[in-house]
Amino acid sequence: MTRISGGSSDGLAGEPAPLELESGKRRSFLGALLALGSFFVGTLLSVPLVRFALFPLLRRTTELEASPVGALSEFSSLTEPIAKIIQIEQVDGWRKAVSEKTVYVTKDKNGRLSVLSSICPHLGCTVPWVTAKSEFICPCHGAVYTSDGSRISGPSLRGMDTLDTSVQDGQLLVRFQYFRQLTSDKEVIG
Amino acid sequence: MGAAESKRDTPPEVVTTGLRGWLNRRIGLDALLSSALDEPIPGGARLAYIFGSGLLFVLLSQIITGVFLALYYVPSADHAHTTVAYITKSVTAGSFLRSLHGYGASAMVVVLLLHLSQTYLYGAYKGRRELLWFSGCVLFALVLGMAFTGYLLPWDQKAYFATAVGTNAASEVPLIGESLKRMMRGGTDMGTLTISRFYVAHVFLIPACIFALIASHIFLFRKAGAAGPVTEDPLTPKQRTEPFYPRQVLMDLSLTALLIIGLGLLCFFMPMSLGPAANPADSQYIPRPEWYYLPIFQWLKYWHGAASVIGVLIVPTVLALAIIAVPFLDRGIERRPWKRPVATGAYAFVLIAVVGLGLRSAYLDKHDPEVAQQLAKQKGEEEEYMRKPFEPELSAASMAAANVALADPVAAKGKEIFEQRSCNACHGDGGVGTVAAPALIGVGAKLSADQLAQLLKQPNAKMAAGGMPAVDDLPADDLKALVAYVASLK
């Protein structure tokens, strides 16, 4: 598109002063070049801005890390479930919340170590291990579970919930999660 | 090219076809561009005139980076430092953007001083340009205000102590000094209210004033016209003119490109550091302001006691008034600096004094072994802090829960029972309450220990209806501990 500068043109686009047209062409070419250059530099400069703004979307800023339960050696001669208080750290952007949860370290049916959430899958009470009866018995509504967490009796629709575990440097780690109550299927809620 | 159409309904030089024609009929794009780009410059384009647009560019960069920094920054004494550390250490490109904003402040001051010097030495304030000069002076003060208020916001050691000194200086002003200081700090001491005040000034008040003044500055500049070279008559320019576009635009853009490259490299290779969080109890810390405040800092050292009113108030006020009054004091149309010995001499004097004061301050710091040692120590602490990974702030709720356990051994035992007996299942961790049962926080203020124990053993009708089981099988000591814990919840 040609933009003719100055007021000397008589208005007939077909017959402007040749010099004017020449300079007008040069000006619009330069203008296009500048616009292109500015667009390029602007795009380049906006890269850090976009990355900065999108940081929470591309990186996990709310995370729940695995919490240490104790040394593996501590659980080598397990005869009954033992309660452990773990600290769970919940990171939310630049802040974190630390809370304590009770879990049970026990052995599953095959004799392998497993970690149970102490939260009753019925209505969420903390289930204590009753050594005298060798059973988990919920104090609230009387759900009863075996030492590996399987349901024996009571109002609960499923056994106690097992948590994901891992081992790192001889330490047993557990990822604490909450599960929906009053259902027969184990379903993570957060 | 739509010549026939153009002949019919619009002036000939205006494009009437395509998108441009569409825009022309609606907003008069060509007329706007023409008024922006065809500004005549007497004597032609020159590199000496590039600083004004340079300033506009840095300002734009400050606005953009500032807005983005606000995505993560929280203006409170509790969180300011954590959020700036988060930006610097965790967020992608955070260190770069924060550096761009921080160094941008310095760039702003540098380009502003160049712009001011050029205007002054070229006598470009002459010829009915008093208001233009005056608005520039106010803008200068506002930019220094932005630098002062922005410096506190990271709330690290240097920010805190430099601002403590800066606000203290205000108290030297006679009569209103103490009130002025308290006004700035939001109280006698620096604290979270100081951050709020500085934040509001930095983000809302001063920027609003800057926008308004830049608009009037540009309006006044266009009204008076470009002053041109020093040989030009400031009232009725006689030299051949050249439009602003393209040569002057290209020169202006070259400064912008230089600034982008310079700032970009600086921020990438030498990002700004952040010191440890402000510790008001630190009595060893030696505060030093940003380089552009060093001359004032050094100047204030010379004035004590009764004489301080001269140094803090009278001299700066006289100087500021003299600068504002320059167009009234130097009224001739002569603009060549070598023909204006008084004006040029005054400029040289102020420049030498300011640079001298700044250098003197740096020299003294370097040659006082105690100060040099402490400053080196502070620098070391800052570097050490920068090496540590980002540590998220512990939320208030988890701290409250953790503190109880430490405070009272009986209550600590009660906390264990509270969790063993599943009280937290319904009443929440730390008794914060859940949908199943109310919060227990503050219950100790309403009920005595005996009443609490009684309610635990024998819940009232409302509690029982809500599903509260009776706690009647606990040994007396355990019940006492549980009551102590519940009563301690705050």
Q: Per residue in B55-64, pLDDT tens?
A: 999 999 999 9
- Which of B258, B249, B295, B310 minimizes the C-alpha distance to B144? B295
Residue A185 is assigned to a structural domain of this protein: no
β-bridge partners, A164: A175
- Percent of chain A residues topping a pLDDT of 70: 83
C-alpha dist (Å) from residue B405 to A128, B155, B287, B408, B424: 21, 31, 39, 7, 15
Are A102 and A162 found together in one domain?
Answer: yes
Q: Point out the domain boundary residue: A59, A78, A104.
A: A59
Distance CA B444, CA B451 (A): 10
Instruction: List all residues of chain A from 87 to 106 with a beta carbon under 8 Å from chain B.
Output: 91-100, 102
Q: Point out the domain boundary residue: A35, A59, A83.
A: A59
CB A81 within 8 A of CB A147: yes
Closest chain B residue by Cα to residue A15: B3
Instruction: Specify the pLDDT at position B319.
Output: 94
Domain that holds residue A134: 62-175
Query: What's the angle, vertex CA B385, arms to CA B381 and CA B388, rounded to 5?
Result: 145
Q: Point out the domain boundary residue: A14, A32, A59.
A: A59
Query: How sure is the predictor about B398, in pLDDT bands with cuts at 50, 70 and 90?
Result: low
Are A66 and A55 found together in one domain?
Answer: no
- Which of A26, A24, A117 minimizes the C-alpha distance to A69? A117
Q: Is the pLDDT of residue B383 over 70?
A: yes
- Percent of chain B residues topping a pLDDT of 70: 95
C-alpha dist (Å) from residue B150 to B66, B71, B153, B158, B279: 10, 16, 6, 13, 19
Q: Is there a contact between B68 and A6 if contact means CB atoms under 8 Å apart?
A: no
Are A49 and A91 found together in one domain?
Answer: no
What residues contact residue A111 under an 8 Å CB cut-off, 6+ apart? none
Average pLDDT over residues B444-466: 88
Q: What are phi and psi of B142, to 5 degrees?
A: -65, -40
C-alpha dist (Å) from residue B442 to A97, A111, B3, B446: 22, 47, 83, 7
CB B489 within 8 A of CB B431: yes
Are A49 and A78 found together in one domain?
Answer: no
How far is A128 from chain B, CA to nearest CA, in Å?
7
Q: Is the pLDDT of residue B7 over 50?
A: no
CB contact B23 to A (< 8 Å):
no
On the CB side of B154, CA atoms within 13 Å amount to 26
Which chain B residues are Cβ-neighbours of A7 within 8 angstroms? Answer: 13
Q: Read off the pLDDT of residues B116-149 as tens digits, 9 standing for 90 and up.
A: 999 999 999 999 999 999 999 999 999 999 999 9
Size of interface A-B (CB pairs under 8 A): 144
| H runs (alpha helix) in B122-228 | 130-152, 157-170, 177-185, 192-200, 206-224
Lowest mean pLDDT among A36-50, B9-23, B143-157, B183-197: B9-23
Lowest mean pLDDT among A60-64, B108-112, B327-331: A60-64
Residue A183 is assigned to a structural domain of this protein: no
Output B470-473 pairs: Cβ under 8 A, ≥24 positions apart: B471/B421
Instruction: List all residues of chain B from 181 to 220 with a beta carbon under 8 Å from chain A.
Output: none
Distance CA B226, CA B335 (A): 14
Are A73 and A100 found together in one domain?
Answer: yes
Which chain A residues are Cβ-neighbours of B96 within 8 angstroms? Answer: 48
User: What ipTM describes this predicted complex?
Assistant: 0.81
CATH code: domain of residue A158: 2.102.10.10
Q: Is there a contact between A124 and B15 if contact means CB atoms under 8 Å apart?
A: no
Query: How sure is the predictor about B192, in pLDDT bands with cuts at 50, 70 and 90?
Result: very high
Instruction: Specify the pLDDT at position B9.
Output: 45
Instruction: List all residues of chain A from 20 to 49 with a beta carbon under 8 Å from chain B.
Output: 27, 30-31, 34, 41, 45, 47-49
Q: What is the largest CA-CA distance in chain B?
A: 105
Q: What is the pTM of this model?
A: 0.80
Residue A47 is assigned to a structural domain of this protein: yes
Most B CBs within 10 Å: which of A94, A99, A130, A182, as the mutation test of the B interface?
Answer: A94
Instruction: List all residues of chain B from 82 to 141 with a beta carbon under 8 Å from chain A.
Output: 82-83, 85-86, 90-94, 96-97, 100
What does B357-404 look like in DSSP terms, one character per residue?
Answer: HHHHHHHHHHH-HHHHHHHHHHHHHHHHHHHSPP-PEEPHHHHHHHHH
Instruction: Specify the pLDDT at position B171.
Output: 87
Chain mean pLDDT for chain B: 90
Task: For chain B, list the domains and their CATH numbers.
Answer: 1-37 (no CATH), 47-387 (1.20.810.10), 396-488 (1.10.760)
Instruction: Specify the pLDDT at position A5.
Output: 40
Average pLDDT over residues A118-145: 86
Cβ neighbours around B410 below 10 Å, total: 16
Query: How sure is the predictor about A13, in pLDDT bands with cuts at 50, 70 and 90?
Result: very low
Which chain A residues are Cβ-neighbours of B86 within 8 angstroms? Answer: 93-94
Q: Is there a contact between A97 and B397 if contact means CB atoms under 8 Å apart?
A: yes
Q: Read off the pLDDT of residues A97-116 as tens digits, 9 standing for 90 and up.
A: 887 788 999 988 887 889 99
Which chain A residues are Cβ-neighbours of B12 within 8 angstroms? Answer: 4, 9-13
Instruction: Specify the pLDDT at position A12.
Output: 36
Considering only CA atoms, give the Rg of chain A.
Answer: 34
Residue A132 is assigned to a structural domain of this protein: yes
CB contact A189 to B (< 8 Å):
no
Instruction: Specify the pLDDT at position B406.
Output: 53
C-alpha dist (Å) from residue B68 to A97, B201, B274: 26, 18, 18
Residue A187 is assigned to a structural domain of this protein: no
Q: Is there a contact between A12 and B3 if contact means CB atoms under 8 Å apart?
A: yes
How far is B24 from chain A, CA to nearest CA, in Å?
12
Q: Is there a contact between B426 and A124 if contact means CB atoms under 8 Å apart?
A: yes
Most A CBs within 10 Å: which of B5, B91, B245, B421, as the mutation test of the A interface?
Answer: B91
| B425: nearest CB among A9, A47, A125 | A125
Are A18 and A78 found together in one domain?
Answer: no
CB contact B279 to A (< 8 Å):
no
Q: Which two tokens stand for residue A102?
A: 């009770």
Lowest mean pLDDT among A73-87, B180-194, B205-219, B389-403: B389-403
| A99: nearest CB among B71, B429, B436 | B429
Q: Is the pLDDT of residue B69 over 80?
A: yes
Which chain A residues are Cβ-neighbours of B420 within 8 angstroms? Answer: 102, 126, 128
What does B46-79 look like in DSSP terms, one character per residue?
Answer: -GGG-HHHHHHHHHHHHHHHHHHHTTT---STTT
Q: Is the pLDDT of residue A62 over 70?
A: no
Instruction: Specify the pLDDT at position B463.
Output: 87
Average pLDDT over residues B286-297: 91
Instruction: Specify the pLDDT at position B431.
Output: 83
Which chain B residues are Cβ-neighbours of A96 within 8 angstroms? Answer: 392-395, 398
CB contact A12 to B (< 8 Å):
yes
Instruction: Specify the pLDDT at position B397.
Output: 66
Cβ neighbours around A71 below 10 Å, total: 12
What does B249-299 look like in DSSP terms, one character per residue?
Answer: HHHHHHHHHHHHHHHHHHHHHSPPP--SBP-TT-SS------GGGHHHHHH
Q: Read off the pLDDT of residues A27-43 as tens digits, 9 standing for 90 and up.
A: 778 889 999 999 999 99
Residue A189 is assigned to a structural domain of this protein: no
Distance CA B148, CA B54 (A): 21
Are A88 and A148 found together in one domain?
Answer: yes
| B92: nearest CB among A41, A51, A139 | A51
Q: Is there a contact between A45 and B260 if contact means CB atoms under 8 Å apart?
A: yes
Q: Is the pLDDT of residue B324 over 90?
A: yes
Peptide bond into A128 cis (omega under 30): no
Distance CA A104, CA B168 (A): 59
Q: Is there a contact between B425 and A140 if contact means CB atoms under 8 Å apart?
A: yes
Query: How sure is the predictor about B338, in pLDDT bands with cuts at 50, 70 and 90?
Result: very high
Query: What's the angle, vertex CA B181, arms to CA B176 and CA B182, rounded to 5?
Result: 100
Are A104 and A157 found together in one domain?
Answer: yes
| Alpha-carbon B187 to chain mean position | 20
Q: Is there a contact between A41 and B436 if contact means CB atoms under 8 Å apart?
A: no
Are A2 and A23 found together in one domain?
Answer: yes
Chain mean pLDDT for chain A: 80
CA dihedral A114, A118, A123, A125 (to 10 degrees): 170
Are A92 and A154 found together in one domain?
Answer: yes
Q: Is the pLDDT of residue A128 over 70?
A: yes
Residue A184 is assigned to a structural domain of this protein: no
Q: Is the pLDDT of residue B3 over 50?
A: no
CA dihedral A115, A120, A125, A130 (to 10 degrees): -70
Which chain A residues are Cβ-neighbours of B402 within 8 angstroms? Answer: 98
Cβ neighbours around A100 below 10 Å, total: 18
Are A52 and A95 found together in one domain?
Answer: no
The count of structural domains within chain A is 2
CB contact B155 to A (< 8 Å):
no
Residue A52 is assigned to a structural domain of this protein: yes
Distance CA A143, CA A122 (A): 8
Are A52 and A83 found together in one domain?
Answer: no
How far is A72 from chain B, CA to nearest CA, in Å?
24
3-state helix, strand, coil in chain A (%, to 5): 25, 35, 45
Instruction: Specify the pLDDT at position A4.
Output: 39
Burial (CB < 10 A; 0-12, 13-18, 19+), residue A184, is: exposed
Instruction: List all residues of chain A from 127 to 146 with a beta carbon under 8 Å from chain B.
Output: 127-128, 138-140
